[in-house]
Structure 1
Amino acid sequence: MTDLSRILPDFPIGRYANLLPTIEKHGLTTADLLALEAPDIGKRTQLALLDVKRLCNAILEALHVDLGISDKPQPKTDEAKKGKGTGIGTSVLKQTGTELLATPQHAISTLDDELDRALGGGIPTGYITEITGESGAGKTQFLLTLLLACQLPPPRGLGRPALYVSTEAPLSTRRLSQLLAHNPYLRNLPPASKPSLDGIVGTVTPDLESQDHILHFQVPVEVARRHVGLLVLDSVAANYRVEFERGASVASGANLAARSHELLRLGTLLHDLARTHDLAIVVANQVADRFAAPAKTIAGGVASSHHSLPRVSQESPLASRSRGMPLIPPGLEPPSSSNGIDATTELQLLRSSMPPPPPTEDPPAPAALLLDHQQRWFTGWGDDPHPHHHNLKTPSLGLVWTTQIAARIALFKRPVYGRQREVVEDEEGQTTTTMKNWRRWMKVVFAPHVRGTGPGLEGAVEFEVTMGGLRSLERKGKGKEKGKEEEMATATTKVA
């Protein structure tokens, strides 16, 4: 349990010296001791159940004191008793909710006012922010802009250098030079305050082993030495998908468990870096197509399975329960009634007095509890009131990685087609559709410092990728209203 001394430096480990070596031998972390049941830990480590409970309770109390939500003083270490340490006494909350919201956030600008407004000022420090989207949506352009903006003085930037860790392709210095030359904000800056390529440190991690070594040993040293303000990981999914999704091992439960464990280690490391050095951590993530699970149907008495398009259900999970068996079974005439009671009511009374039939199979889980129903609120795809079933995506690495990030920004793209034209090849006329351009949107799925964009693309910000970087576009109708206001203001000035 090598992370206990890092999470709780003042924890009295001397009292549990007979337990910690065995726990560390079995690879249990502090999070495991807090999340797992004591009998499960005892089975794995063969330790006494009472000793395990005492250790887990002591760690939990120490964490409460460290967070300032407990009035109990934390036990002093042996060094503190000898006068070498101060120990931790009764503490109060470090920051209340109101103070936390009132604390000014340092953020990195996207160099576009409309995009910054949607992001609550930019990319904040102290958090892990994910930018996800399919290939060509603008993720890399977004990241390169942040690498330059981080070097700007506040409020646009942090006045600090940036660190770029790539898992796929090396840093594009040519594109960075292009942004410096053509961005309308950067090109007008004086040379003294203008960002440069010297303020960006880049490295490539072609496999998971090198990535783990660089992030655990080299990155913390560079961040502390250079006072780095931004760490970019592009992309987070590449090495994990290569390492854990090869061959027949995809369906292996042990393989998925190992990948989840590695993702938790990565999330813990990035969280510590963000909090300790007050830097912004931005990771790019890939997406995958979302397919519905096979549904079983009964056809001619034989169960068959088929794949269907994902169906987005908005109804309550109790709605399906109210649609049970019909009041009158098919093929059965309603019984006659001579006592004045309606036949349907009599049948309901008869059925209510009979014991329910034994269940033939386990009842299905309500739709509201299924991942296919829930993921629309944290993936960015599927919450549109008019969904496009053929274009649903889901960010890679699943729910485990989603719990490690604080904010998710989704980038969307859709093609814009031009007029059809006739292409003559080999004396045969052929009509083709020519694509003119792409339309792109940015959407805040969830974030701790700003409200989410909302369902669909109604509140998303449309942008385009230019020589100078990202540039937001006015919504249709908004420009006309703005033009009318300017015309009215001009007319009023002339009359006056």
Structure 2
Amino acid sequence: MCDLPSVLPDYNPPNPRLQALFETHNLSTAELLFLDAIDISRRCTTPHSVAPSLLEIKRYITHLSSALNGDIAHHSGPEISTQSSQYLTTGDETLDTLLNGGVRVGGITEFVGESGAGKTQFLLTLLLTCQLPSSQGGLGGRGAVYISTESPLSTPRLVQISRSLNSRLSPSPKVSTDKVLSITCNDLETQEHILKYQLPTAVARHNIGLIVLDSIAANFRAELDRPAQKRQRLEAESNSGPALLARRGGELVRVAQGLRELARRHNLAVVVANQVSDRFSMDDAQEEDPWSLDYQSRWFTGWEGRAGGKVPALGMVWANVLAARVVLRKADEDRGRRRRVGVVFAGWAEGGREMDLDIWEGGVRAVKEEKEDGVDGVPNIYG
């Protein structure tokens, strides 16, 4: 049943003919927002009619989404977009000190590291701490959206962390998994549809304070690692491999622009996980040349020329859209350490400092250093 007149009584459609077609085929507002343009076109196709173009449908959905978001913002009041800068706690006081208050609202913060370094544990903890009251470092009971590109949300682990938070901090009301919305997208096309259409609506409707994307690189990497025959065809259409990389860079920028606009408009935090690749140096002499990329990379990758060093995926294009980058890595077993966490760069925290990280039933927590290793137990790894 077409329920758009009841959802938005004053809505003025950009294409009345298309609106009449949707009403004829009983497409609901939810279906228009959540179905792909191809599926909508198929629903509206009959033997006696010509299917609407995909461009027409996409323009209509974009206009509808904007109108719906504007209507929700109008009825929910301006307090969401006019709040001052906030910091979202990690649930651990020492880690908050490392981040100079926590994860800042209003921008994109990246947690990058190899598999098993603890990225997802960090993200699961943040999904729940955002529900804490402001006095305890949360976002006043606001919910969270978890978008996974690899595996579904681990609800048993989320429940375990929530029980620990409620026991340790006794928040009122208690944190709950009910305020965590989750969705899995396994390809780049689905991811684009979710971020462009579904996510803005969910943010406005459910008073979301945190968006988590785990991980940003998976689908972009899969797009470039498709079977050789298909990749060669795409490269032939784009004239060259570099053109394909340039197009991917443009898509990354568009994703970042959409996420930053949501963060700014709704005063929420955006946190993404990122994967890493092995780091290769072309020339050892470049390691000591201040003008070389190898020398300068320590200030934006988080791996300062270590043996077996890594490079965050998606390159400089992605690094330039981030407000902060936090690196997690498996530490030196010879020193009895399992994981390390450090700030690579952030507009509100000092970069180059790191500490030991422990994963426990309550999420993540810091293992304090001896004070002689650095200022307040947080050593500086760049000098």
Q: TM-score, normalised by structure 2?
A: 0.69
SS of the aligned residue for 2:364 comes to: strand
Alpha-carbon distance, 1:476 to partner: 3.8
Q: Is the CA contact (8 Å cut-off) linking 1:142 and 1:470 kept in structure 2?
A: yes
Relative to structure 1, is the Cα distance of residues 121 and 438 closer, same or farther in structure 2, using a 3 angstrom cutoff? same
Q: Which residue of 2 aligns with 1:165?
A: 147
The secondary structure found in structure 2 opposite 1:186 is helix
Residue 369 of structure 2 aligns with which residue? Answer: 475
CA contact (8 A) 2:133 2:172 kept: no
Structure 2 counterpart of 1:255:
244
2:356 to 458, 462, 469: 462
1:229 matched to 2:203? The reply is: no
In structure 2, what is the equivalent of residue 409 of structure 1?
Answer: 326
Identical aligned residues as a percent: 47
Contact 2:278/2:308 (<8 A) preserved: yes
- Any idea what SS the aligned residue of 1:404 has? coil
1:91-110 correspondence runs (5 A): 105-110=85-90
Measured in 1, the distance between the counterparts of 2:195 and 2:309 equals 32
What SS class does the counterpart of residue 348 from structure 2 fall into?
A: coil
Distance in 2 between the 1:230 and 1:167 partners? 17
Question: CA offsets per residue over residues 396-421 of structure 1, 9 Å max, x none?
Answer: 00001111111000112125259xxx
* Secondary structure of 2:331 counterpart: strand
Q: How does 1:66-215 map to 2 (within 5 A)?
A: 105-155=85-135, 156-158=137-139, 159-181=141-163, 183=164, 185-190=165-170, 192-215=172-195
Shift of 1:192: 4.3
When Rg is computed on C-alpha atoms for both structures, the one with the higher figure is 1
Q: How big is the shift at 1:373?
A: 2.4
The superposition leaves residues 273-314 of structure 1 with CA deviations (integer Å, 9 ceiling, x where unpaired) of: 111111000000001110122x6xxxxxxxxxxxxxx55634
Determine which structure has the larger helix proportion and give its number: 2
> Among residues 254, 259, 266, which one is paired with 1:277 in the alignment?
266
Instruction: Map 1:341-490 to 2 at 5 A.
Output: 367-382=289-304, 387-388=305-306, 390-416=307-333, 438-452=337-351, 454=352, 459-476=353-370
What letter is aligned with 1:465? Answer: I
Q: Structure 1 regions of 5+ residues with no counterpart?
A: 1-102, 296-309, 315-366, 419-436, 483-496
Quick one: structure 1 residues 447 and 190, their matched pair in 2 at CA, closer, same or farther if it must change by over 3 Å? closer
Distance 1:265 1:153, change over 3 A: same
Q: Which amino acid aligns with 1:221?
A: T
User: More displaced, 248-257 or 119-128?
Assistant: 248-257
Give the Cα–Cα distance (whole angstroms) in 2 for the partners of residues 409 and 286 of structure 1. 12
Q: Which residue of 2 aligns with 1:291?
A: 280
Equivalent residue, structure 1, for 2:17: none
CA distance in 2, matches of 1:148, 1:261: 33
Are the aligned partners of 2:100 and 2:348 in contact in 1 as well (CA < 8 Å)? yes
Note the aligned Cα RMSD (angstroms): 2.3
Secondary structure in structure 1 of the residue aligned to 2:365: strand
Q: Is the 8 A contact 1:114 1:461 kept in 2?
A: no
- Note if contact 2:111-2:271 (Cα within 8 Å) is conserved in structure 1: yes
Q: Which residue does 1:326 correspond to in 2? A: none
Residue type matched to 2:342 in 1? Answer: K
SS at match of 2:333: strand
Which secondary structure does the structure 1 equivalent of 2:349 belong to? coil
2:15 aligns with none
Distance (Å, rounded) in 2 between the aligned partners of 1:472 and 1:369 = 35
Q: Determine the C-alpha separation between the residues in 1 that align with 2:188 and 2:299.
A: 30
Deviations 1:447-469 (A, max 9, x none): 111221x2xxxx31212111121
How far is 1:370 from its partner? 3.0
Amino acid in structure 2 at the alignment position of 1:397: L
SS where residue 270 of structure 1 aligns? helix
- Matched residue count: 281
Give 1:177's aligned amino acid: V
The alignment partner of 1:209 has SS state of: helix
TM-score of the pair, normalised by structure 1? 0.54
Find out whether 1:239 has 2:133 as its counterpart. Answer: no
Q: Which AA in structure 1 matches 2:333?
A: V
Per-residue deviation, 1:227: 1.3
1:374 Cα offset (Å): 2.1
